[in-house]
Amino acid sequence: MSKDSDFKHISVLLNEAVDSLNIKPDGVYVDCTAGGGGHSAAIAAKLGENGTLISIDKDDAALATCMLRKDDFARINWMPVKSDYGDIDNVLDSMKIKKVDGILADLGVSSYQLDHAERGFSYMSDGPLDMRMDTTGGLTAEYVVNNYSRDSLERVFRTYGEERHSGRIADGIVARRQTRPFTTTTELAEAIKEYMPGHGRGEDQHPAKRCFQAIRIEVNHELSGLERLSTNGIRHLKNGGRFSIITFHSLEDRIVKEAFRLGENPCTCPRDFPVCICGKKSLGTVITKKPVEPGEEEVASNPRSRSAKLRVFERNDNEQYN
C-alpha cells in the first residue's frame, strides 16, 4: 500500500484529544482505534527516542494505513497490533506491559468505511450488507437482517439504535425476507423507510440511520467491547496516566461516563452512612466534568464531528489496582 492510500479519515478533536493525554516524551501510549493514523501520528510526534506507541485496530486497511506513517517516526518504538479495543487486557498482557502513561480511543466508523460502498456501512450507497470492521470476522449485517428472529431484530433496533418504530420495522423486514432475502444496503434502507410510519420520515436524518447504526453495533459487538475497554483501561494506567475517549452517540457516551464515574467514586455504601465501609477506593479523577465538543470551525469543515464528545480520566491513586 502506498502513502497515497485511499484510506481517508479526518481525526476528530485531534489536538484536544492528544493534548488531554499530557504526553511524556519517554512514556508508553496506546491508540486503541488507529484508523488512518491521525491520532497515532500526533502522539508519535510528541514522543522521544525512548517513547513507545501501540496502535490497535481490527480493520486491516486502517492498520496498514496507520503504519505507513511509521517511517516518519523511526526514533520511537511504534508497534501495530490487530485486535479489538475491548481486548486491551490481552494486548498489553501479551506484550508484558502492565502499566501505560495514556490510552486514547476514537470510537465510531471512519470516513473510509462509510465512503466505500463495498464495506456495507452506508445507507446512502449501494453495497453488500456487510458492516464488519474486521472483514475476516464471522457475523455480517446480511446474516443479522435475514436470520435474526423478529424479537431479536426489534431488540437490536430499540437498544442499539434507540429506534422508536423498532417493532414495526422488524415486522416489515421479517415479512419481506420470506420471499426475497436482503442482500444490499440500499434494499434495506428503502425497506426501512417504507416500513416506518409517515410521521417518522419527516426528520432531518435518513429514516434508516438509527437501524444501520444498530446493526453495525451488533455485528461488531461495539458496546460490549467499550464496556471492557472503559473498565480495564483504567487498570492499566500508571499513576498520573490519562484515559481519553471520543464517543459519537449517547449509548457510547453513557458507558464511558458511568465507567469514569465509578473509577472516581466506586463506593457502594448507602449515602446516609457516616463513613465508607465497602472498602472501595477512588482510582482517580474525571478531568472533564463536561465533555469536550468540537468547535464551530471543526464542525463546518467536518460535519461528521458534530456529535463527538471527549471525556478524560486521570489515574491518581497511590495503591496497586488489582
Q: What is the DSSP string of 253-320?
A: HHHHHHHHHHHH----S-TT-SS--S-----EEES-SS-B---HHHHHH-GGGTT-EEEEEEE--SS-
Please give the backbone phi and psi of residue 159, each rounded to the nearest 5 degrees, phi first: -75, -45
What Rg value do the Cα atoms of the chain yield, rounded? 21
Q: DSSP letter for 97, please.
A: -
Q: Are 143 and 177 in contact (CB under 8 A)?
A: no
State whether residue 252 is helix, strand or coil.
helix
149-163, 219-233, 275-289, 308-322, range with the lowest pLDDT: 308-322
Domain 14-112+222-315 has CATH 3.40.50.150: yes
For 50, the grid coordinates are 525512548
pLDDT digits (tens, 9 = 90+) for 279-292: 888 999 999 999 99
For 312, the grid coordinates are 478524560
Residue for cell digits 463546518?
Answer: 300
pTM score, whole prediction: 0.90
- List every span in the chain annotated with CATH 3.40.50.150: 14-112+222-315
Mean residue pLDDT of the chain comes to 91
% of the chain with per-residue pLDDT over 70: 94
Mean pLDDT for 162-178 is: 97
Q: What is the pLDDT of residue 202?
A: 58
Give the C-alpha separation, 62 to 15, whole Å.
Answer: 20
Position 197 confidence tier, pLDDT thresholds 50, 70, 90? confident
Domain 120-220 has CATH 3.60.21.10: no
- List every span in the chain annotated with CATH 1.10.150.170: 120-220
Residue 198's Cβ-count burial label (10 Å; 0-12, 13-18, 19+) is: exposed
Position 199 confidence tier, pLDDT thresholds 50, 70, 90? low
Q: What is the pLDDT of residue 9?
A: 58
